[in-house]
Amino acid sequence: MAWMSELLPREAELAPLPWEGEHVHPEAHDDDALLIDVRSYAEFMNGHLPGAHCLPLPRLAHEVLIRVPDRDTPILLYCATGARAEQALGLLRQLGYHAVRNGGCALDLARRRGLLLQRGL
């Protein structure tokens, strides 16, 4: 079953972030990058960015080698706060992935990409 559940109700208002315009990650606009959500499957099923693939941090090293064999593939990682994505970034760099970046928090990444996300199907 293809899940396209997302992070916020359609009617949710997105308040501007206090650092918007000052701290925007350049990778947030990299539309060619493979989006990898490193949260748990349960978190992913509760909501994720459209087009993202779930590779939870504990299984990332094993799964990424199978699913993304080309180590030059642009990858944008995200999670709930950015902390697991930062751990994943270090792990993927150790594995030889060169074009990998930390997109940070899922909600912040959605805001930076201009997405108003909808929850559930």
Rounded CA separation 94/75 (Å): 14
pLDDT bin (cut points 50, 70, 90) of residue 15 is: very low
pLDDT bin (cut points 50, 70, 90) of residue 26 is: very low
Rounded CA separation 22/39 (Å): 27
Rounded CA separation 47/9 (Å): 10
CA 28 to chain centre: 10
Which helix (H) or strand (E) segment holds residue 91: the answer is: helix 83-94
pLDDT bin (cut points 50, 70, 90) of residue 36 is: very high
Whether pLDDT at 7 is above 90: no
Give the mean pLDDT of 83-92.
97
